């Protein structure tokens, strides 16, 4: 598969969660065309960061950045890295992270694009990502810089089904809706998430 990933890339869900997201896209498209509606689907890549009291809260936590911050805060002993032999520059998986503030601005543009007008219905799908990937090791190093914590690492085997690289092409939403990520830096995303975690809002 080509990288960065466009909206036209083949959809091959490998989990019930992925199947339901694809089914929702198909149903939205059918309804829009059948009833003259305007609809937008936003496909997030890896949401990160925080704004005020809005940040990540998962129990149990499965995402890389919050787990790194748990280690930095002394609530976990080490971060587990699943696979260090991928065909990437440092051997770890590469992912596209996008700040939640940039996601919010994309939602506002999507709402404006779907304002009621006369005419035939349509359904537009947009990828939301920075278009730049960060490896697991790069994210770990960023978290170490931001938190001034050593963050010990435990190497583990690959997880089945984890692709080496997942990076979005957001060219379509940039060209059609004028969206641009204003906060693309991984250090800033982690710094905002770290502030959220230390504030107690994440508990």
Judge residue 160's burial from the number of C-beta atoms within 10 Å of its C-beta, 0-12 exposed, 13-18 middle, 19 or more buried: exposed
Q: Is 11 part of any domain?
A: no
Instruction: Say which CATH number the domain at 155 has.
Output: 3.90.25.10
Q: Is 17 a catalytic residue?
A: yes
Q: Is 157 part of any domain?
A: yes
Number of helices and strands in the chain (H, E): 6, 8
Catalytic residue among 17, 44, 86, 126: 17
Over the chain (203 residues), the average pLDDT of each successive run of 10 is 89 88 96 92 96 86 94 96 97 98 97 79 94 97 98 96 94 97 96 92 59
Please give the radius of gyration of the chain, using alpha carbons only, rounded to the nearest integer: 18
The predicted-structure confidence for 50-80, as pLDDT tens digits, reads as follows 998 888 888 888 899 999 999 999 999 999 9
User: Which position has the token pair 């890549």?
Assistant: 45
Res 56: pLDDT: 87
Q: Do strands 122-128 and 38-44 pair parallel, antiparallel, or not at all (unpaired)? A: parallel
Range of the domain at 157: 46-115+128-198
Phi, psi (degrees; rounded to nearest 5) at 7: -70, -20
Which residues contact residue 173 at a Cβ distance below 8 angstroms, ignoring those fewer than 6 apart? 106, 109, 126, 127, 128, 179
Q: How many domains does one find in the chain?
A: 1
Res 118: pLDDT: 59
DSSP 62: -
Res 60: pLDDT: 85
Tell me the pTM.
0.91
């Amino acid at each position: 598969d080509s990288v960065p990933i466009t909206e036209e890339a083949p959809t091959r869900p490998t989990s019930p969660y992925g199947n339901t997201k694809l089914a929702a896209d198909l149903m939205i498209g059918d309804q829009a065309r059948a009833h003259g509606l305007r609809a937008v689907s936003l496909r997030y890549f890896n949401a990160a960061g925080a704004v005020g009291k809005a940040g990540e809260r998962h129990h149990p936590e499965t995402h890389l950045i919050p787990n790194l911050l748990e280690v930095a805060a002394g609530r976990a002993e080490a971060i587990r890295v699943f696979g260090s032999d991928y065909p990437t520059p440092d051997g770890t998986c590469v992912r596209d992270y996008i700040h939640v503030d940039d996601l919010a601005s994309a939602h506002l543009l999507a709402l404006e694009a779907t304002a009621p007008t006369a005419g035939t219905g349509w359904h537009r799908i947009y990828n939301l990502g920075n278009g730049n990937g960060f490896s697991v090791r790069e994210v770990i190093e960023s978290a170490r810089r931001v938190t001034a914590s050593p963050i010990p690492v435990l190497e583990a085997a690959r997880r089945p089904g984890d692709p080496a690289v997942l990076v979005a092409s957001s060219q379509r939403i940039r060209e059609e809706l004028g969206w641009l990520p204003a906060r693309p830096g991984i250090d800033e995303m982690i710094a905002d998430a770290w502030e959220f975690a230390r504030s107690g809002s994440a508990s």
